[in-house]
């Protein structure tokens, strides 16, 4: 139960006289000035955990319950930590002093806190304390110590770590440390995890981590390390060296088995593939956003000559070759480099690889064959390269589920390329130059006159791929979509957007009646929509924006569409039958930038005004009111049935009046002209 320690908590056994006295004290400033009240800590206590955060405290509260185990004093203004403030809490397990102004810690303060496991001193002014070159004293039982964000620089950590025998986790991130000395951790030999993230480390002395036999995780990201020439921490499992200035990564050549599982080298300046231990257990390797130009593990001769002096380990030439074993590697990211080609032999040992990302490089061709089938690979990302050729050998990529090929120059590939992938689910082919084949087999019940098997040269087949659910073909300069193009492929999502001038056959989407739920045809400049979307019984999200549609197709069946985008077309009318069909399921509709008639589309506009349908662009969407002397634009949300009926009645009255006036004018004309005619006739007879 939460307990709030403040002035309102008092004993319930007060006498009447005590209550009157207390009332006088509280109501009389004069009396209160001579009788100061006992100040209790305004902390919240839940079970044996006290939260005193963000209370503007400048001292440690001394009235918390005896036996308290956790105290959170973060976000206050504490400056000094002394025995006077913390002596009462010698049994606490967890002390959080994050974001204060601490610049002095009494030596030996934590000596008797034999139960203290977690000590958070992050974001204070401990650099001021370290200038005095005073040791904090033994941290007897502390297992987790956070000293991040304290402005500490090289050598200052010694005053906190020299006597911390139980310390397992240490955070020193966001300080100003430039060098990790050989004796930095001599008093903290049990360390397992160290975080040096976001410092300015330039140098790591030889043997700095050698005494930490249990060290398994080391984060050195966001520093200024230029190279690792002889990595030899065989017990380390996680190493993060991302966002440094590294030009190389080499391990000591030995037969020792390394435990390293995770190696992050992204966002450095590495020119050639890192030299991994011969015997390793590596599962995750990220070398993205570097300067790799080839997958030569030893680099070019010029590169090696340039780096020889700084990279070569004793007794080993920087340019010497070494067999690399990646048999346990599951994830490999080499994206955002300058790689032009990848030799087939590079993947020979990668029998466990599930994710390969080589996007945003300069690769012109990619081949997977029987020698390197990569049959465990599930995700392959080759997007935004210079691919003109993508070919697969038989019985390769048997487990591939997601293939990214967008942003290349693919124009001609084997028609059945994707039909050979038995597990493919996602296929990203945006921004290429591919053509779509019609199905090679005549679908059942298809009229012979409406179906032809002739296909354009170089087309790709997307029919009869039973596992494919997501297909992206936007920006392929598609000119035509043949009949039954996706027959036998249970697509859920089909993106055909940004193909200006796309001509779709009436039966282009046949075969997707029970599967397709997302369809995008935006920015195709289509004047009409030939396929009957009402046949797609599971269709829920449709984007037809930025075309030239003059009318929305008649919808005479029950609709399942929930989201429909009709923006930036030439729509004048939407049929009433379509409105009735859409009203049952529609939840979101975009309709702006169309020349809709106001009263001619009244049922449609009234549907949009209902709460059941959300129109995100209703504030700017307009319709054209052509019932007055001159057409007037109105906001579609303001059009009412009464307004249209009133206008109709007004025009009927105006029309009747005009007819009456016209009849009267004709009668008057006849009356005037008839006597003249008689006079003319009389004159003629005479």
**Residue-by-residue DSSP string for 242-283:** -SS--SEEEE---SPBP---EEE--SS---S--B--SB----
Q: Which residue has the tokens 């791929």?
A: 465
Residue 442: what pLDDT?
A: 66
Contact 264, 288 (CB under 8 A): no
How far is the C-alpha of 553 from the C-alpha of 556, rounded, in Å?
10
Smallest CA-to-CA distance from 360 within 388, 335, 332 is with 335
Overall domain count for the chain: 1
Cβ within 8 Å of residue 418, ≥6 positions away: 403, 424, 427, 460, 461, 462, 465, 468
The answer, yes or no, to whether residue 211 has pLDDT greater than 70, is: yes
Q: Would residue 289 be called left, alpha or beta, if left means φ above 0 and alpha means ψ between -120 and 50 degrees?
A: left
Backbone angles phi, psi at 110, to 5 degrees: -95, 10
The answer, yes or no, to whether residue 27 has pLDDT greater than 50, is: no
Q: Of 55-64, 129-138, 653-662, which gets the smallest average pLDDT?
A: 653-662
Task: State mean pLDDT over 206-224.
Answer: 96
Smallest CA-to-CA distance from 429 within 446, 443, 408 is with 408
How far is the C-alpha of 662 from the C-alpha of 666, rounded, in Å?
6
Backbone angles phi, psi at 227, to 5 degrees: -165, 155
Residue 441: what pLDDT?
A: 64
Q: Could you tell me the CATH number of the domain that includes residue 364?
A: 3.80.10.10
Structural domain of 327: 228-302+323-394
Task: State mean pLDDT over 152-172.
Answer: 95
The answer, yes or no, to whether residue 175 has pLDDT greater than 80, is: yes
Q: Could you tell me if residue 284 is inside a domain?
A: yes
Task: State mean pLDDT over 457-474.
Answer: 95
Q: Could you tell me if residue 80 is inside a domain?
A: no
How far is the C-alpha of 52 from the C-alpha of 185, rounded, in Å?
33
Q: Which residue has the tokens 């466990």?
A: 352
Q: Of 511-520, 618-627, 640-649, which gets the smallest average pLDDT?
A: 640-649
The answer, yes or no, to whether residue 173 has pLDDT greater than 60, is: yes
The answer, yes or no, to whether residue 31 has pLDDT greater than 70, is: no
Contact 152, 128 (CB under 8 A): no
Read off the pLDDT of residues 111-141 as tens digits, 9 standing for 90 and up: 989 999 999 999 999 999 999 999 998 999 9
Q: Of 156-165, 209-218, 439-448, which gets the smallest average pLDDT?
A: 439-448
The answer, yes or no, to whether residue 411 has pLDDT greater than 50, is: yes
Q: Could you tell me if residue 256 is inside a domain?
A: yes
**368 has which bridge partners?**
392
256-263 long-range contacts, CB within 8 A, separation 24+: 257/281, 258/234, 258/282, 259/216, 259/234, 259/235, 260/236, 261/237, 262/237, 262/238, 263/239
The answer, yes or no, to whether residue 453 has pLDDT greater than 50, is: yes
Contact 278, 254 (CB under 8 A): yes
The answer, yes or no, to whether residue 77 has pLDDT greater than 70, is: yes
Contact 613, 607 (CB under 8 A): yes
Stronger pLDDT, 208 or 295, i.e. the higher one? 208
Q: Of 298-302, 306-310, 476-480, 581-585, which gets the smallest average pLDDT?
A: 306-310
Contact 278, 322 (CB under 8 A): yes
Task: State mean pLDDT over 299-315.
Answer: 43
Q: Could you tell me if residue 384 is inside a domain?
A: yes
Read off the pLDDT of residues 239-270 as tens digits, 9 standing for 90 and up: 999 999 999 999 988 889 999 999 999 999 99
Q: Of 2-11, 59-68, 478-487, 591-600, which gets the smallest average pLDDT?
A: 2-11
**4 has which bridge partners?**
44
Smallest CA-to-CA distance from 338 within 371, 385, 377, 299 is with 385
**204 has which bridge partners?**
180
User: What's the pTM value of the predicted model, to 2 decimals?
Assistant: 0.83
Residue 404: what pLDDT?
A: 98
Backbone angles phi, psi at 239, to 5 degrees: -135, 120
Stronger pLDDT, 633 or 357, i.e. the higher one? 357
Residue 57: what pLDDT?
A: 95
Residue 625: what pLDDT?
A: 85
The answer, yes or no, to whether residue 685 has pLDDT greater than 60, is: no
pLDDT category, 62, cuts 50, 70, 90?
Answer: confident
Q: Of 26-30, 419-423, 532-536, which gets the smallest average pLDDT?
A: 26-30
Stronger pLDDT, 157 or 627, i.e. the higher one? 157
Stronger pLDDT, 303 or 350, i.e. the higher one? 350
Read off the pLDDT of residues 644-654 as tens digits, 9 standing for 90 and up: 865 444 444 45
Residue 385: what pLDDT?
A: 98
Task: State mean pLDDT over 394-421.
Answer: 95
Q: Of 99-113, 555-569, 667-681, which gets the smallest average pLDDT?
A: 667-681
Q: Could you tell me if residue 356 is inside a domain?
A: yes
Q: Could you tell me if residue 375 is inside a domain?
A: yes
Percent of the chain at pLDDT above 70? 83
Both tokens of 127, joined, read 């650099």
Residue 422 DSSP code: T
Q: Could you tell me if residue 260 is inside a domain?
A: yes
- Arithmetic mean of pLDDT over the chain: 85
Which three-class secondary structure state does DSSP give residue 104? strand
Stronger pLDDT, 297 or 10, i.e. the higher one? 297
pLDDT category, 678, cuts 50, 70, 90?
Answer: low
Contact 599, 624 (CB under 8 A): no
Cβ within 8 Å of residue 472, ≥6 positions away: 406, 427, 428, 429, 430, 493, 495
Q: Could you tell me if residue 240 is inside a domain?
A: yes
Give the ranges where 499-623 is alpha helix by DSSP (H).
576-583, 602-608
The answer, yes or no, to whether residue 23 has pLDDT greater than 70, is: no
């Amino acid at each position: 139960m939460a307990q709030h320690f403040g002035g309102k908590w008092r004993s319930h056994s007060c006498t009447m006289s005590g209550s009157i006295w207390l009332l006088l004290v509280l109501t009389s400033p004069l009396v209160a000035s001579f009788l100061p009240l006992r100040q209790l800590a305004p902390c919240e206590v839940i079970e044996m955990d006290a939260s005193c955060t963000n209370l503007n405290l400048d001292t440690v509260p001394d009235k918390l319950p005896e036996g308290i185990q956790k105290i959170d004093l973060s976000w206050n203004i504490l400056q000094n930590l002394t025995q006077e403030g913390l002596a009462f809490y010698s049994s606490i397990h967890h002390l959080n002093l994050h974001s204060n102004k601490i610049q002095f810690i009494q030596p030996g303060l934590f000596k008797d806190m034999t139960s203290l496991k977690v000590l958070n001193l992050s974001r204070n002014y401990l650099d001021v304390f370290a200038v005095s070159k005073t040791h904090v004293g033994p941290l007897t039982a502390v297992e987790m110590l956070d000293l991040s964000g304290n402005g500490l620089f090289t050598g200052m950590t010694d005053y906190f770590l020299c006597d911390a025998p139980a310390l397992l986790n240490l955070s020193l991130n966001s300080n100003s440390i430039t060098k990790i000395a050989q004796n930095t951790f001599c008093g903290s030999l049990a360390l397992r995890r160290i975080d040096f993230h976001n410092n300015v480390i330039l140098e790591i002395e030889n043997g700095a981590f050698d005494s930490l036999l249990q060290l398994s995780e080391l984060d050195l990201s966001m520093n200024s390390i230029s190279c690792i020439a002889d990595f030899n921490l065989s017990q380390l499992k996680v190493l993060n060296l991302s966002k440094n200035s590294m030009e190389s990564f080499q391990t000591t050549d030995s037969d020792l088995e390394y435990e390293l599982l995770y190696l992050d080298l992204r966002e450095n300046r590495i020119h050639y593939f890192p030299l991994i231990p011969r015997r390793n257990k590596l599962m995750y390797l990220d070398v993205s956003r570097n300067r790799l130009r080839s997958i030569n593990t030893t680099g070019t001769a010029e590169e090696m000559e340039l780096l020889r002096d700084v990279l070569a380990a004793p007794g080993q030439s920087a340019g010497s070759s070494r067999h690399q074993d990646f048999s346990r590697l599951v994830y490999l990211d080499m994206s955002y480099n300058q790689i032009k080609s990848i030799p087939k032999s590079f993947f020979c040992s990668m029998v466990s690889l599930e994710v390969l990302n080589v996007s945003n490089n300069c690769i012109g061709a990619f081949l997977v064959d029987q020698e390197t089938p990569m049959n465990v690979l599930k995700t392959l990302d080759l997007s935004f390269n210079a691919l003109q050729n993508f070919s697969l050998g038989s019985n390769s990529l048997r487990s591939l589920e997601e293939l990214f090929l967008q942003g290349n120059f693919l124009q001609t590939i084997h028609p059945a390329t994707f039909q050979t992938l038995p597990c493919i689910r996602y296929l990203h082919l945006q921004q290429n130059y591919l053509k779509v084949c019609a199905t090679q087999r005549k679908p059942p019940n298809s009229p012979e006159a409406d179906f032809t098997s002739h296909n354009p040269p170089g087309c790709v087949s997307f029919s009869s791929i039973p596992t494919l659910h997501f297909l992206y073909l936007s920006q392929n300069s598609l000119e035509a979509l043949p009949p039954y193009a996706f027959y036998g492929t249970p697509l859920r999502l089909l993106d055909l957007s940004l193909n200006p001038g796309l001509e779709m056959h009436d039966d282009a989407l046949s075969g997707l009646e029970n599967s397709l739920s997302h369809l995008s045809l935006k920015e195709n400049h289509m004047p009409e929509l030939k396929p009957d979307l009402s046949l797609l019984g599971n269709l829920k999200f449709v984007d037809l924006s930025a075309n030239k549609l003059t009318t929305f197709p008649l919808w005479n069946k029950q609709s399942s569409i929930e989201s429909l985008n009709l923006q930036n077309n030439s729509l004048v009318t939407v049929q009433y039958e379509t409105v009735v069909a859409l009203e049952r399921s529609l939840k979101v509709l975009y309709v702006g930038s169309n020349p809709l008639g106001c009263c001619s589309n009244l049922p449609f506009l009234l549907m949009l005004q209902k709460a059941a349908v959300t129109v995100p662009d209703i504030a700017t969407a307009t319709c054209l009111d052509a019932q007055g002397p001159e057409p007037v634009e109105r906001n579609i949300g303001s059009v009412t049935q009464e307004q249209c009926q009133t206008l109709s009645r007004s025009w009927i009255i105006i029309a009747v009046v005009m007819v009456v006036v016209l009849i009267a004018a004709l009668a008057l004309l006849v009356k005037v002209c008839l006597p003249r005619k008689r006079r003319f006739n009389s004159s003629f007879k005479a």
